[in-house]
């Protein structure tokens, strides 16, 4: 089955360097990413992530001139952005399209998502390929996911993304959530997995076996906390198991890109931060990281108290 791959390194990886990628690096990254076989390169958030931070870099703002530069580099048909409805207003989507973006993913919250639906409608009218993303999916009751996914589909969302932001999903949950939302909406399902528990690849394989057809990954897994599904591992798996995908992948270019990222962006170095494993294990969002941040002994104390409290 055809898998649509999105490279989220520049966007989700931005949590590691406050989105401060240089324009030259971003252009070179996107070029190699396209050569490696990614269908879309998610170049940025539009106007910031969920919680606004100061000195936000290039890929945290998604300004028009950045979109233009990236679109000239790899062509509009590969340029994607993601956004929180609360961060944009009516002129944003037309400007993004005019600047040369063709995929937009609109993140819907579990409640008060109506403004997001309006932007989904607007994006479809403009001509975008439109996706909707649900964050921290493990914390949503199934009926919430069902309601919001149905509303988003009715509004025009063409792909429904399940994002395991806490990295606490299990393969069996990936299967059941994919099956639930796909049966309900009849739409393509996307998976965005994190590695707090090292399950990003296991969850993606399970979800794709259950019918998911869109997948986010990032080079070296560079992303929030312990990071995203590792692109080098995921595309290698696809190349070995999925003929449709294999035909368009270039693992040489992928390794070259990984090498370039490691050399250019120190924050891309893989690690297994123990506090994030605790977050994933107890399905806690990143806001709780402060409680177990810093010296591992604190994480251990927290883990022990949490274990004891069970």
Q: Are 15 and 23 in contact (CB under 8 A)?
A: no
Q: Binding pattern to its own copies, positions 238-277, x when CB under 8 A?
A: -xxx--------xxx--xx-xx---------xxxx-x--x
Applying CB under 8 A, what is the total number of residues that bind its own copies? Answer: 42
Least separation in angstroms between CB 170 and its own copies:
7
- Taking CB under 8 A as the rule, does residue 8 contact its own copies? no
Bridge partner list, 194? 228
Inter-residue long-range contacts of 170-175, CB under 8 Å, 24+ positions, other chains counted: 170/199, 170/203, 171/199, 171/202, 171/203, 171/205, 171/206, 172/206, 173/138, 173/203, 174/203, 174/204, 174/206, 174/207, 174/210, 174/212, 175/206, 175/207, 175/209, 175/210
* Range 119-158, binding its own copies (CB under 8 A): none
Residue 233 as a binder of its own copies (CB under 8 A): the answer is: yes
Contact between 159 and its own copies by CB under 8 A: the answer reads no
- 61 neighbors 47 (Cβ within 8 angstroms): yes
The answer to whether 297 contacts its own copies (rule: CB under 8 A) is yes
280 contacts its own copies (rule: CB under 8 A): yes
Could you tell me the smallest distance in angstroms from the CB atom of residue 205 to its own copies? 6
Contacts of 95 (CB under 8 A, 6+ apart): 64
Task: Decide whether 80 or 249 has the Cβ nearer to its own copies.
Answer: 249
Q: With respect to its own copies, which residue has the nearer C-beta, 68 or 260?
A: 260
Query: From CA 250, how far away is CA 257, in angstroms rounded?
Result: 11
Is 183 a residue that touches its own copies (CB under 8 A)? no
State the nearest-atom distance from the C-beta of 126 to its own copies, in Å: 38
Can you tell me whether residue 51 is helix, strand or coil?
A: coil
Contacts of 293 (CB under 8 A, 6+ apart): 275, 299
Residue nearer to its own copies on the CB measure, 216 or 239: 239
**What is the nearest approach in angstroms of its own copies to the Cβ of residue 218?**
12
CB of 282 to its own copies, least distance (A): 9
- Under a CB-based contact definition with an 8 Å cutoff, are residues 4 and 214 in contact? yes
Q: Least separation, in Å, of the C-beta of 255 and its own copies?
A: 5
- Interface positions, 93-122, toward its own copies (CB under 8 A): none
Cβ atoms of residues 11 and 48 within 8 Å: no
Taking each helix axis from N to C end, the angle separating 23-36 and 251-264, rounded to the nearest 10 degrees, works out to 160
> Based on CB atoms, which residue is closest to its own copies, 132 or 165?
165
* Closest approach of its own copies to the CB of residue 271, in Å: 6
Query: 138 — phi, psi (to 5°)?
Result: -70, -15
Characterize 271-309 residue by residue with b for buried, 16 or more Cβ atoms within 10 angstroms of its Cβ, and e for exposed: eebebbbbbbbbbbebebbeebeeeeebbeebbeeeeee
Q: How far apart are CA 28 and CA 229, in angstroms?
A: 21
23 lines the binding site for its own copies (CB under 8 A) = no
Q: Which of residues 189-228 bind its own copies (CB under 8 A)?
A: 197-199, 201-202, 205, 220-221
Nearest approach in angstroms of CB 121 to its own copies is: 39
Site residues (CB under 8 A) for its own copies? Answer: 170-171, 197-199, 201-202, 205, 220-221, 230, 232-233, 236-237, 239-241, 250-252, 255-256, 258-259, 269-272, 274, 277-278, 280-281, 296-297, 299-301, 303-304, 307
């Amino acid at each position: 089955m055809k898998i649509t791959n999105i490279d989220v390194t520049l966007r989700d990886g931005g949590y590691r360097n406050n989105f401060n990628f240089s324009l030259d690096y971003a252009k070179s990254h996107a070029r190699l990413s396209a050569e490696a076989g990614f269908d879309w390169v998610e170049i940025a958030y539009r106007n910031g992530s969920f919680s606004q931070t100061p000195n936000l870099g290039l890929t945290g703002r998604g300004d028009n001139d950045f979109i233009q530069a990236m679109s000239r580099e790899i062509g509009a048909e590969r340029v994607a952005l993601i956004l929180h409805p609360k961060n944009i207003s009516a002129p944003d989507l037309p400007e993004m399209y005019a600047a040369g973006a063709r995929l937009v993913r609109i993140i819907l919250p579990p409640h008060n998502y109506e403004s997001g639906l309006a932007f989904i409608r607007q994006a479809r009218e403009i001509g975008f390929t439109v996706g909707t993303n649900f964050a921290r999916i493990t914390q949503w009751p199934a009926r919430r996911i069902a309601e919001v996914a149905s509303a988003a589909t009715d509004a025009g969302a063409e792909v429904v993304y399940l994002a395991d932001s806490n990295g606490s999903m299990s393969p069996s949950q990936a299967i059941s959530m994919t099956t639930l939302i796909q049966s309900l909406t009849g739409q393509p399902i996307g998976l965005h997995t994190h590695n707090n528990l090292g399950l990003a690849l296991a969850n993606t394989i399970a979800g794709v076996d259950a019918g998911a057809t869109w997948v986010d990954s990032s080079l070296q897994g560079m992303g929030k906390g312990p990071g995203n599904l590792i692109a080098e591992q995921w595309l290698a798996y696809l190349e070995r198991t999925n003929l449709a995908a294999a035909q368009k992948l270039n693992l040489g270019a992928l390794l070259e890109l990984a090498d370039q990222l490691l050399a250019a962006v120190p924050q891309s170095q893989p690690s297994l931060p123990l506090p994030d494993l605790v977050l994933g294990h107890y399905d806690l969002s990143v806001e709780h990281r402060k409680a177990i941040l810093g010296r591992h002994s604190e994480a251990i104390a927290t883990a022990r108290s949490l274990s004891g409290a069970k």
